[in-house]
Structure 1
Amino acid sequence: MPHYADTGGVAESNGQRLARLRARHRWTQQRLADEAGFSLASVRAYEQGRRSLDRSAIVLAFAKALDCHPTEITGAPYVPLNSDTDGQAAVASVAGVRRALLRHGRPARPEEYEVAAVDLADLHKRVDEANAFRQAAALAKSGAMLPQLLRDLQVACEVVEGAQRREAFSLLTSGYECAMQYLYKLGYTSDATLATERVVWSARETEDPLRALASQWYDAGEFLSIGEHDEAGAIIDGALTELGTVRESTPEAVSLRGAFHLKAALNSARSGSPAVAENHWERAKAAAEELGEDRNDYQLQFGPTNVAIWGVSLPVEMGRGRVAVNRAEKVRLPAKFSPERHSHHFIDVGRALFYNGQREQALGAFLRAERLAPQATRMHAGVRETVGTMIRTQKRGELVELGIRLGVV
């Protein structure tokens, strides 16, 4: 259940968790301000909940100063309310998925019936179904499939040979990617990191150079999420260099190159290099124009629409609400885009509107995101912190009702 401090019924904010971490170090607010590179007034505003501590770059700066994991500030993972039956169902499979991930690399020791049941065509169908549930924001259904699916994929990789082995590892990679996204959406970042390691390892076993490179996209994201920007940048630069040696500009290679430029843009945005971030975004836009369509190679959605979506996300990362709002007005999401992707976009739009002082419109965007993907929205650290800040300063009807569903009231 959420922890309530003396906040008039509002759950503990990121700023209050920050204050507790600071107290653990026996630092003054001035010391934290100096160590993290912020003003004393900013630290006070964050700790008192008057300013939303939702931007990753700022959370990471405080986490590095206090030598803690960012989730110690954001409070993830969050426990769904008892009344949230869908949320309870979504997290019910986390332990089973975790066990399957821990079994990776160990002898499968399959029973005879498991060996006899190996059917790559059927496994392909099940992997597609699990990913389809995830993209449709049906996290409970996706999670329920994953433990047995991952076990069956691990068995297949152990018992088949030759070209079938490479195919089995490609399916296992997709299964691990699905598990990674499922865990990440629910706020289980440590388990998602474990899944990412499995993605990287299994992708190498496919003997497909582009598949292995695609896994590096996720690996770079792990370092980015803990503020290790140099390491993330090295992985991204290495991938882009290798992609530059690909002789044929296949759609898969172009899509992958564009996706890495987007990741580079995010890394630059969070590390305080807005001009570099904008340059990488423009290069991604050029790749999307070369591609001429939206694709989903290696589970990495890339194309003109996705570049436009990131055009909103990046200024949000940098706290540039007006730029993000202006760009959001030009984004047109096709109906074929998944509810998961739609909801994430409206979360970014909501945060942009909040930064721009348009609180009523921000609430509308968050409610729209919640309708599309209830659990992913309720578990989103930025939504929870932003809505909590709005409630502390402006309690009213729908806003409080959303706060209750999020578990921040």
Structure 2
Amino acid sequence: MPQLSDIEALPETNGNRLAELRRRRRWNQQRLATESGYSLSAVKKFEQGLRSLDRADVILRFSKALDCHPTEITGQPYMPPGTDHDGQAAVAATAAVHRALLRHGRPTRPADAEVARVELPSLRQRVAEVNGLRHKAALARTAELLPQLLRDLQVAAEVSTGNDRRAAFDLLTSGYECAMQYLYKLGRTWDATLATERVLWSAEETEDPLRVIAAKWYDAGEFLAIGEHDEAGAIIDGALTDLGAVRGHGPEKTSLEGAFHLKAALNHARATDQRAADRHLKLAEEVAGELGEDRNDYQLQFGPTNVAIWSVTLPVEMGRGRDAVRQAERVRVPEQYAPERRTQYLIDVGRAHFYNGQPDDAYRAFMEAERLAPQQTRMHAGVKETVRVMRRTARRTPHDEFALRLGVA
């Protein structure tokens, strides 16, 4: 368990970083208020840590005003506390994963033994294993397996021909998707963007139109993350148009359609367009009703359960705590649902309670998320900022040890 002495090495608050970015531009607080559209009083509270700077739309507004990347405000990536051995193991592998990503498209120069080991059924099993570990939020074990798996998949894609080559690239795409999600969970945004590019390129080589369209879900997410809502929207609209041109009406196509409507809803929510967000959520609900089951096509979870989860996520993104809490009371996430996704849902529920003025309920949701997925929860920017503000605006609480595990002063 982290010791009190760990506090000396804890990161600054989002508010402190915001103030430092402002000072670098030689702006006073009034100038930042004018450029961002917030009041002077709000800017002061954000910088003092008296108002939570955790919502994506708020961070994006400041990052656009200051012409910086959102992670310069959130402080990502984070280093796990010294006693979080699994977290340190997960972080330690990021360099090896980065090297594997850089090798994409380069000659693999495999040894004869590596070529002899190329067996697609075995590789398919290994890809399923590593993605299963990711869904379980077992980041340390995922990190242990990913670098060598990516190398073996790259060799397979290079030496295979015909249908085997297309199958190898399909597996490589899944491997890159796993790497992307793993890196995002650790706050390695730049490396995750590199992985997203590899997903797009390798998907094209599969010659599977649905696989290519699915990859655009992540491409849209890259622009959404930096507040380029028009570009993200254009990618989403293009993907939905492409889906309409694909022949047939199989469940994979239907699932992808629903997933893109959810992405569109998130894009509009972060752009503070509630009406458009609600419209796309409603369309996703209709698609989920047509589908009638939860699916995980192309690593994109979609179905009635995921739509219910997003019905909480979207009001959280817009700071509507009361609506999110009310909606959460109706949601029942099955125990067999992936811990990774259940954890994200619990984090959203915690933030909803915080916005609704229920700090004890927020702590309970966060600690349940930590029980399911310790590293995913402790490295989450929204959890860190929310807990930091709750501690700053309250006296010592029974939850201080949890805050220390997050690395929050």
TM-score class, shorter:
over 0.9
Rounded Cα–Cα distance in structure 2 between residues aligned with 1:335 and 1:301: 15
1:330 pairs with 2:330? yes
Give structure 2 stretches of 5+ with no counterpart.
Answer: 1-6
> For residue 3 of structure 2, what is the aligned residue in structure 1?
none
Structure 1 unpaired stretches of 5+: 1-6
**1:125-166 Cα deviation digits (max 9, x unpaired):** 100110111111110001110100000000000001000000
Aligned mates of 1:335, 1:161 — CA distance in 2: 42
Alignment-mate amino acid for residue 147 of structure 1: P
Contact 1:10 1:388 in 2 (8 A): no
Q: State how far apart, in whole Å, the 2-side matches of 1:149 and 1:246 are.
A: 32
Give 1:403 deviation, angstroms: 1.0
Which residues of 2 match residues 23-102 of structure 1 at below 5 A? 23-102=23-102
Q: 2:214 maps to what in 1?
A: 214
Mapped partners of 1:88, 1:397: distance in 2: 27
Map 1:265-284; keep pairs closer than 5 Å. Answer: 265-284=265-284
Distance across 1 between alignment mates of 2:388 and 2:285: 35
Distance in structure 1 (CA, Å) of the matches to 2:151 and 2:90? 20
Paired with 2:239 and 2:137, the residues of 1 have a C-alpha distance of 30
SS in 2 for 1:301: strand
Instruction: Give the alignment of 1:108-147 within 5 angstroms.
Output: 108-147=108-147
> Are the aligned partners of 1:133 and 1:142 in contact in 2 as well (CA < 8 Å)?
yes
Amino-acid identity (%): 66
| Deviation string, structure 1 residues 230-267 (Cα, Å, up to 9, x no partner) | 11000000001111223321100110000000000000
CA contact (8 A) 1:311 1:327 kept: yes
Alpha carbons 1:351, 1:362 under 8 Å: kept: yes
Name the CA distance, whole Å, in 1 between partners of 2:310 and 2:17. Answer: 30
* Structure 2 residue aligned with 1:307: 307
- Counterpart residue identity of residue 43, structure 1: V
Counterparts of 2:396 and 2:356 in 1: how far apart (Å)?
Answer: 20
Q: Distance in 2 between matches of 1:29 and 1:399?
A: 33
| Aligned 8 A contact 1:11 1:388 in 2 | no
Shift of 1:178: 0.3
**Take 1:355 and 1:23, find their aligned partners in 2: how far apart are those partners?**
29
Structure 2 contact 209–246 (Cα < 8 Å) conserved: no
By how many angstroms is 1:194 displaced? Answer: 0.2
With over 3 angstroms needed to count, the CA separation of the structure-2 counterparts of 1:257 and 1:361, relative to structure 1, is: same
Letter in structure 2 aligned against 1:68: C
TM-score (norm 2): 0.97
Q: Distance in 1 between matches of 2:202 and 2:232?
A: 20
SS at match of 1:405: helix
Conserved? CA contact 1:10–1:392, under 8 Å: no
Q: CA deviation digits over 1:103-145, x for unaligned, max 9?
A: 0110111111101110100000100110111111110001110
Q: CA deviation at 1:90?
A: 1.2
In structure 1, the partner of 2:4 is none
Does the CA-based 8 Å contact 1:387-1:399 persist in structure 2? no
Cα gap change, 1:10 to 1:387, in 2 (>3 Å): farther
**1:294 is matched with which residue?**
294
Contact map agreement 2:262 2:280 (CA 8 A) in 1 = yes
Instruction: Tell me the CA shift for residue 37 of structure 1.
Output: 1.0
Q: Contact 2:115/2:155 (CA < 8 Å) preserved in 1? A: yes
- C-alpha distance in 2, partners of 1:118/1:271? 46
CA offset at residue 8 of structure 1? 10
Q: Which amino acid aligns with 1:362?
A: A
Between the aligned partners of 2:363 and 2:9, the Cα distance in structure 1 is 19
On the 8 A contact 1:255/1:297 being kept in 2, the answer is yes
1:4 equivalent in structure 2 = none
Matches within 5 A, 1:157-236: 157-236=157-236
Deviates more, 1:250-259 or 1:332-341: 332-341
C-alpha RMSD of the superposition = 1.2
Shift of 1:357: 0.2
Aligned amino acid, residue 350 of structure 2: G
1:99 deviates by 0.3
**Partner Cα separation in structure 2 for residue 286 and residue 74 of structure 1:** 36
Find the aligned partners of 1:335 and 1:251 in 2 and give their Cα distance. 24
Give the Cα separation in 1 of the matches to 2:86 and 2:111: 34
Is the alpha carbon distance of 1:8 and 1:166 closer, same or farther for their aligned partners in structure 2, counting shifts above 3 Å? closer
Q: State the Cα deviation string for residues 254-294 of structure 1 (Å, max 9, x = none).
A: 10000000000000000111100000000000000000000
Paired residues of 2:220 and 2:235 also in contact (CA < 8 A): yes
